[in-house]
Structure 1
């Protein structure tokens, strides 16, 4: 499965540059937690202060299961607390929602 999500960064060039620097090399424990949740590939793109994430998952991937795994992982909790200092919710995000799932509106080829 493929999922696309969006999130904003605080609109501060220094914070954005540091956020990018922090993502230049994945921390091994964070990459391991992503893979163990059934995510096979993850890419993050930026336009201005808007982030766009694409994830490719196993068919049995679940955001709920990933959230439970993350909640039980101190390294992930530390990472999430750290990156939250750079992030801000989208204007239409639900309370407490960070990455907002995007709705596909066009596909040149059906999968």
Structure 2
């Protein structure tokens, strides 16, 4: 499955976010592989971040991350630079954005 997320960087934290996120810890990359997160790409527009995640099962991956020490360490490191996550309606929330259209789905479907 493929999901998108939207988050925002704290004011004045773009450079720090970029430098800390240039490479995630190897332990976290190993956790992602183990729980079925195959790829995660982040784009930035101003202070807004857009994430595209390819995974086997997003809900299962989130459940697995809840007790994962590598993710807890990463959140402690990167968290100070992230203001919040937003849902599809712009409210605060760590939930996937609504998919509106997909070329591959249209062509293959």
Select the structure that is richer in helix.
Answer: 2
Q: Is 2:21–2:78's contact at 8 Å kept on the other side of the alignment? A: no
Displacement of 1:21 after TM fit? 0.8
Structure-to-structure mapping, 1:1-111, within 5 angstroms: 1-12=1-12, 15-58=13-56, 61-63=57-59, 65-89=60-84, 90=86, 92-93=91-92, 97=93, 99-110=94-105, 111=108
Q: Label 1:105 to 1:67 Cα distance change in 2 as closer, same or farther (>3 A).
A: closer
Unaligned runs of 5+ in 2: none
Aligned length: 102
Instruction: State the distance in 2 between where 1:48 and 1:40 align.
Output: 27
Contact 2:7 2:50 in 1 (8 A): yes
Deviation (angstroms), 1:77 = 0.6
TM-score normalised to the size of structure 2?
A: 0.81
Q: Show structure 1 runs of 5+ residues with no match.
A: none
TM-score, with structure 1 as normaliser: 0.79
Q: Structure 2: how far apart are the matches of 1:52 and 1:84?
A: 16
